[in-house]
């Protein structure tokens, strides 16, 4: 982890790119104005760069004293919101990176009032944009340290935002690892490390245990790979928990499609098919830091989907522990098969909330694009809650219907259900309807989040760069923190 310093009085140093915010019409907070005067930066130099302080603008100037100043446009003070703050500090950090800065200093924007939400967002944008995955580069360009100047009253909120961003960055680090490094067993090791760091209970089921527990989906999908499957169960239990939450994450460490092998252009980037699992681990990291009042169980079915002599095949019929029989129509619709085991197991824990997250369908990306996750839940109140948190976090979600008329699509011919719809229309919905078959009646609230679009992006987008985004870690960490 890079060192972070929090101080009150700004000091400009040669080795640090110095980030300041600027409201429209080049209005600065008084402490920043003083610094600019000292550095000999007048308004004319900013005007010459066509910088006005509007939201989304960014400019940089090397001062006569040899300091690199970066200006983040904030627009109108009273129109500022969390996402604008994240984007503004995020673009400034990206500008600093473009200027090859390795150390950052930033003056917390002047929000004009005590505003914890904006201070947290400032930290989120700062640390999400500072992230880079450089483990395998011989020449590192990563940010080495960050100094932040802010008032004591917003310090706690700043550190809260830092916890959320670092939880998301932890997720990004694992998602970005390739399939030759993160096998199901390696993912289980990550879970164990996390659990021992925060004092969580952690059980890992190996093949024998999977057989005993009748986890037929995980066993079937896992059989086609030399790297054996695992099932991970982490438990966080505070004293007298107010609620019980189960989180489930799809952990396909690589999705080749299996015997229904993917064509080249669709197989690329399928190391990200474990993003749901990694998000669950990231949420658990945030929980370890924030210690909420609710009991949380993290469940991860982990497999590698490969074609092999032992691989499961189209036409195979699986009979799940809850009695449902499933005919395989495509070995590439593997995510729902392993999630089914986890949802049955999770239902037996009798949770108040069960939320699964998965890079489940290409259809969801077709429907919503790369920047929005699909949200499915029969519970209107819970949908509203999640959507409103998601608007605040900038991890965009959009509700899609669990349309009963589409249930016909996954009715089996020689089994109860099949793992793919009869037509390809509504593919994200039929996948969600499939999952619903494995959510027990006793589960009060269930939601499914299809993160196939936003989990991994291939171009720069707001405070993210190429690669994993860590969605929806921040939204769900906030949800759980607020639960009582």
Contacts with ligand BES by CB under 6 A lie at 255, 273, 330, 332-335, 359-363, 365, 420, 427, 452
CB of 448 to Zn ion, least distance (A): 14
In this complex, which beta carbon is closest to ligand BES, that of residue 109 or of residue 456? Answer: 456
**Is the Cβ of residue 305 or residue 393 nearer to ligand BES in the bound state?**
305
Q: Based on CB atoms, which residue is closest to ligand BES, 119 or 363?
A: 363
CB of 363 to ligand BES, least distance (A): 6
Q: Is 365 in the site for Zn ion (CB under 5 A)?
A: no
Closest separation in Å from C-beta 420 to ligand BES? 4
Residue from 332, 341, 395, 409 touching Zn ion (CB under 5 A): that is 332
- Our CB check for ligand BES shows the closer of 110 and 334 to be 334
Structure tokens at 415: 């089994």
DSSP 259: T
In the residue annotation, 336 being an active-site residue is answered as: yes
State how beta strands 445-450 and 373-376 pair.
antiparallel
Q: Which does 372 bind (CB under 5 to 8 A by kind): ligand BES, Zn ion, none?
A: none
Q: Which does 247 bind (CB under 5 to 8 A by kind): Zn ion, ligand BES, none?
A: none
DSSP secondary structure string, 347-410? HTT--SEEEEEE---HHHHHHH-TT-EEEE-S-HHHHHHHHHHHHHHS--EEE----GGGGGGG
Tell me if 327 contacts Zn ion by CB under 5 A. no
Spell out, one character per residue from 227 to 266, where the chain touches Zn ion: x when CB under 5 A holds, - when not: -------------------------x--x-----------
Residue nearest to ligand BES (CB): 362
163 binds, among ligand BES, Zn ion, none (CB under 5 to 8 A by kind): none
Summarize the chain as % helix, strand, coil (round to 5).
Answer: 40, 20, 40
What is the C-alpha to C-alpha distance for residues 69 and 91, in angstroms, rounded to an integer?
A: 13
Cβ proximity to ligand BES, 295 vs 332, nearer residue: 332
User: What whole-number distance in Å separates Cα of residue 191 and Cα of residue 478?
Assistant: 21
Which H helix or E strand runs over 447? strand 445-450
User: What's the min distance (Å) between Cβ of 435 and ligand BES?
Assistant: 13
Q: Which of 64, 142, 158, 141 is nearest to 107 (CA)?
A: 158
Catalytic residue among 102, 262, 269, 399: 262
Q: CA-CA distance, 30 to 36, in Å (whole number)?
A: 10
What does 330 bind: Zn ion, ligand BES, none (CB cut-off 5 to 8 Å by kind)? Answer: ligand BES
Query: Which is nearer to ligand BES, 104 or 174 (by Cβ)?
Result: 174
Report CA 387 to chain centroid distance, whole Å: 15
Q: Rule CB under 5 A: is residue 273 a binding residue for Zn ion?
A: yes
Q: Using CA atoms, how far apart are residues 474 and 285, in angstroms rounded to an integer? A: 11
Instruction: Choose the binding region for Zn ion from 188-196, 334-342, 425-433, 436-444 (rule: CB under 5 A).
Output: 334-342
Q: How far is the CB of 258 from Zn ion (least distance, A)?
A: 7
Question: Please, which residues bridge with residue 71 across strands?
Answer: 20, 59
CB of 282 to ligand BES, least distance (A): 18
Output 187 or 202, the one with its CB closest to Zn ion. 187
Q: Does 335 bind Zn ion (CB under 5 A)?
A: yes
- Say which entry of Zn ion, ligand BES, none residue 328 contacts (CB below 5 to 8 A, set by partner kind): none
Interatomic CA distance for residues 332 and 96, integer angstroms = 42
SS3 441: coil
**d(Cα 290, Cα 160) in Å, to the nearest integer?**
8
In the set 82, 336, 396, 481, the catalytic residue is 336
User: Does the annotation mark 262 as catalytic?
Assistant: yes
Taking residue 156's Cβ as centre, other Cβ atoms within 10 Å add up to 11
Instruction: Measure the CA–CA gap between 113 and 95, rounded to whole angstroms.
Output: 27
Q: Supply 20's token pair.
A: 């300041």
Q: How many residues bind Zn ion (CB under 5 A)?
A: 6
Closest to 432 in 3D by CA, of 375, 387, 383? 375
Minimum distance from residue 359 beta carbon to Zn ion (Å): 6
Q: Which structure tokens are listed for 157?
A: 């909120």
Closer to Zn ion by CB, 305 or 475: give it: 305
| Rounded least distance, CB 468 to ligand BES, Å | 12
For 280, the token pair is 């669950």
Least separation in angstroms between residue 169's CB and ligand BES is 21
Question: CA Rg, the chain, in Å?
Answer: 24
452 binds, among Zn ion, ligand BES, none (CB under 5 to 8 A by kind): ligand BES
- Provide the pairing of β-strand 201-205 with 295-305: unpaired
Helix (H) or strand (E) holding 170: helix 155-176
| Partner whose binding site includes residue 363, from Zn ion, ligand BES, none (CB under 5 to 8 Å by kind) | ligand BES
Please choose, from the candidates 425, 426, 451, 452, the residue with its C-alpha nearest in 3D space to the C-alpha of residue 362: 452
Of residues 181 and 267, the one with the C-beta less far from ligand BES: 267
Which sequence positions are flagged as catalytic?
Answer: 262, 336
List of residues contacting Zn ion (CB under 5 A): 252, 255, 273, 332, 334-335
């Amino acid at each position: 982890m890079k060192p972070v310093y929090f101080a009150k009085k700004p000091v400009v140093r040669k080795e640090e790119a110095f980030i300041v915010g600027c409201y429209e019409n080049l209005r600065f907070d008084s402490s920043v104005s003083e610094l600019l005067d000292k550095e000999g930066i007048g308004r004319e130099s900013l005007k010459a760069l066509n910088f006005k302080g509007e939201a989304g603008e960014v400019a940089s100037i090397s001062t006569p004293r040899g300091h690199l100043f970066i200006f983040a446009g904030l627009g109108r003070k009273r129109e500022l919101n969390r996402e604008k703050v994240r984007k503004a500090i995020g673009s400034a950090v990206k500008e600093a990176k473009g200027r090859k800065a390795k150390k950052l200093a930033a003056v917390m924007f002047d929000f004009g009032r005590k505003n914890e939400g904006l201070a947290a967002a400032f930290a989120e944008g700062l640390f999400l944009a500072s992230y880079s995955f450089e483990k395998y580069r011989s020449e590192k360009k990563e940010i080495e340290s960050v100094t932040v100047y802010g008032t004591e009253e917003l310090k706690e909120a700043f550190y809260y935002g830092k916890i959320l961003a670092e939880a998301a960055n932890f997720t990004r680090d694992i998602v970005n690892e390739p399939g030759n490094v993160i096998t199901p067993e390696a993912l289980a090791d990550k879970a164990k490390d996390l659990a021992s760091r925060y004092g969580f209970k952690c059980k890992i089921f190996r093949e024998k245990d999977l057989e005993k527990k009748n986890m037929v989906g995980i066993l079937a999908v896992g059989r086609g790979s030399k790297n054996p499957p695992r099932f991970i169960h982490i438990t966080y239990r505070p004293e007298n928990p107010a609620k019980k939450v189960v989180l489930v994450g799809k952990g396909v460490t690589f999705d080749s499609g299996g015997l229904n092998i993917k064509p080249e252009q669709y197989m690329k980037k399928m190391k990200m098919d474990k993003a749901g699992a990694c998000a669950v681990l990231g949420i658990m990291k945030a929980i370890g830091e924030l210690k909420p009042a609710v009991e949380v169980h993290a469940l991860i079915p982990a497999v590698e989907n490969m074609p092999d002599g032992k691989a499961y095949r189209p036409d195979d019929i699986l009979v799940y522990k809850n009695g449902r029989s499933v005919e395989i129509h495509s070995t590439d619709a593997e995510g729902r098969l392993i999630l089914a085991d986890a949802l049955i197991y999770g239902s037996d824990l009798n949770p108040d909330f069960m939320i699964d997250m998965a890079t489940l369908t290409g259809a969801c990306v077709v429907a919503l694009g790369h920047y929005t996750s699909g949200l499915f839940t029969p519970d209107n109140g819970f949908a509203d809650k999640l959507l409103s948190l998601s608007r605040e976090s900038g991890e965009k979600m959009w509700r899609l219907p669990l349309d009963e008329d589409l249930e016909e699509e996954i009715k089996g011919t020689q089994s109860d259900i099949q793992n793919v719809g009869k037509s390809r229309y509504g593919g994200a919905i039929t996948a969600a309807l499939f999952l619903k078959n494995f959510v027990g009646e006793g589960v009060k609230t269930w939601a499914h989040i299809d993160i196939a679009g936003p989990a991994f992006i291939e171009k720069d987008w707001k405070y993210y760069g190429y690669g994993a985004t860590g969605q929806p870690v921040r939204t769900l960490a906030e949800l759980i923190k607020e639960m009582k």
